[in-house]
Chains A and B, each alone.
Chain A
Amino acid sequence: MLTRACIRTMAMLALFASAAAAWAGTDGDDRWQGGLRAQHFQDRAIVVSKDVIALEAPYRAEDAAIVPLRIRAGFEQSEQRYIKTVTLLIDNNPEPLVGRFHFTPRSGRADLALRVRVNAYSPVRVIAETSDGRLYMDESYVKASGGCSAPIGTDLEAAMRRLGRMKFRVDGPDLEQPLQTQLGVSHPNITGMQMDQLTRMYTPAHYVTRVKVSYEGEVVFRAETDISVSENPNFRFFFIPGREGELLAEVTDNRGKTYSERFRVPTAN
């Protein structure tokens, strides 16, 4: 029975793997050129450059379920010119779209840090759309595998008990400057590719799909996310408060549940 369960798992994962051309060691732009690009950006021109958006990723990540990424904007956000949307793709993941992240002039900087799962050696690419509608891309190659099917990292029962809890951290008291803000969400972000110990069934996918952070009623950060975001999603971004007030995070998962958390931004005396 164990063996049967095992083989079934293998068959299913093999399917994912072949669909993703995920053979360890495969590199190049096969999946990107073979449909990903068209699916997400049709035939729009994309400038490959680090000047607008730059991706920092470890070349090798021994823990494929928690790969930290840093995305840096090449210029400050302004009403005249700003980065509207950052799309993050991991070509060889079962679902390549990690997420779309939306910024405004109030973001100050369209920088972003988060942690992702990498299921097979893969190009990781970040595409920024600026307010004038142009697209810019940077990419990096990450050697890591198994991140999406890796056993659920923490004790699932404990994780479910604190499901939806959130932590804010905002650095710096200057309300006129872009403040670095971290939002941590306690959520197992189950990929659907992880099997349950007792039932031998796949634990059904359960993951964060939408994140919205507003400050005094104005949206300052918004994202649509998928299973490649690591468990306990953590986003670091910037925003300019401009005045005293309160942050509100609203997070929705694929089961339609919404969680929220408020946080008063600390000010200097």
Chain B
Amino acid sequence: MNRVVDYVLPAAAMVSCLLLSGAARAGAAAPDCVDAPVTAVADGVYVRQGRHAVVFEGSGIANIGFVVGRRCVAVIDTGGSAREGAELLCAVRKLTTLPICYVINTHVHPDHLLGNSAFRKTGAAFVGHRNLPRDLSLLGQTYLQRASAAQGRVLGPDYLVPPDRLVEDGLLLELGGRTLLLQAYDRAHTTSDVTILDDATDTLWSGDLVFLEHVPVLAGSVNGWLRALEALETLSAARVVPGHGPADGPWPDSAAGTRRYLALLRQEIRQWLRDGGDLWDAQRRLGISERDSWEMFDRYHQRNIANAFAELEWE
């Protein structure tokens, strides 16, 4: 890993946060840093719930958080900027002095992963899907450009932190008194989706395989995503932390909306293709019955149609 220059960290607050965190003890004064507002959805499971917005137009969009074991902490997604990551790190530090063993990325999307650089100096291993290095190097330049424009400063390649531990299929991460079960999926929401199940509380972190409120965003495969949901829904869990929407969703009921939307999209596009319709009209006419069920529909629905259309026309 390249640790030479770390010009991306929002200077003072961040540095003092890191310094104090090292020295902090249980019962000592809280570290002097700005922390992300996190809530406990289960014992030792903390989530900062995101606010729906278009990536790079808003901030604090995705659900991100962490799980605290007896030995160490696993962070799950880091948010859309180094500042968001730093605030999440600060939230960890205000709750525990245990080291952070892992920073897990549920997938490549920037609202979930551009906070990684804030965790570079924690010594944590970065964990992600076997495809994540590839996807990050392909999409990274675009992300850096968009993030630079959004933040009004030039961000270099160090702003992106690829995983150094890959989830090939399944992977167990031991946090002391609790184990996280990571599962990698084939092409679904993206090509780098990972879910995390905490065995201590039966909390499922679905990443963006499950959307609540926010319209699902398709950047992988509609067929693959529906298959992934089928597999996921057989899993018994007490709750789900979805990638977007209310942080403590009932399981498996919370998967129903995403599945319904994708299944409808697939069905209507297949019919459209049989009738010889083109993409332009499909983007304006299909799936409209779902419009009132979701936020952000007008920003992402057309993209979803384009993706599904391209996949289904040669299936």
Contact = CB atoms under 8 A, between A and B. Distances in A.
Contacts of B162: 2-3, 6
B215 to A, nearest CB: 11
Contacts of A234: 279, 313
A23 B141 contact: no
The DSSP consensus for interface residues of chain A is loop
A177 interface: no
Interface of A: 2-3, 5-7, 9-10, 13-14, 17, 22-25, 56, 58, 61-63, 66-68, 70, 113, 115, 120, 145-146, 149-151, 153-155, 159, 162, 169, 171, 182, 184, 186, 194-197, 230-232, 234, 236
Contacts of A2: 133, 162-164
20 contacts: A3-B1, A6-B137, A7-B157, A9-B141, A14-B141, A23-B149, A24-B149, A61-B302, A63-B219, A63-B306, A66-B279, A67-B306, A115-B310, A145-B145, A154-B310, A154-B311, A169-B276, A171-B276, A195-B137, A232-B310
Nearest to A153: B310
A169 B275 CA distance: 10
Given A6-B133, A115-B310, 13 more contacts: A2-B163, A9-B141, A10-B140, A14-B141, A23-B145, A24-B146, A56-B280, A66-B306, A146-B141, A153-B311, A169-B276, A194-B138, A232-B314
Contacts of A7: 2, 157
B96 interface: no
Nearest to A58: B302
Interface string B175-219: 000000000000100010000000000000000000000000001
Contacts of A68: 278-280, 283, 306
B19 to A, nearest CB: 26
B112 to A, nearest CB: 17
Contact of B313 (A3, A184, A197): A184
A151 B145 contact: no
Given A23-B149, A153-B310, A231-B310, A6 B278 contact: no
Contacts of A184: 313-314
A2 B166 CA distance: 12
B70 interface: no
Contacts, number: 118
Contacts of B279: 66, 68, 115, 234
A66 B314 CA distance: 15
Given A10-B144, A62-B299, A232-B314, A151 B138 contact: yes
Interface residues of B, number: 41
A237 to B, nearest CB: 12
Nearest to B282: A68
A58 B280 CA distance: 9
Contacts of B283: 58, 68
Contacts of B187: 155
B134 A113 contact: no
B58 to A, nearest CB: 15
Contacts of A67: 306
Given A9-B137, A9-B138, A24 B300 contact: no
B276 A151 contact: no
Given A149-B142, A182-B276, A66 B149 contact: no
Contacts of B36: none
A115 B276 CA distance: 16
B310 A66 contact: yes
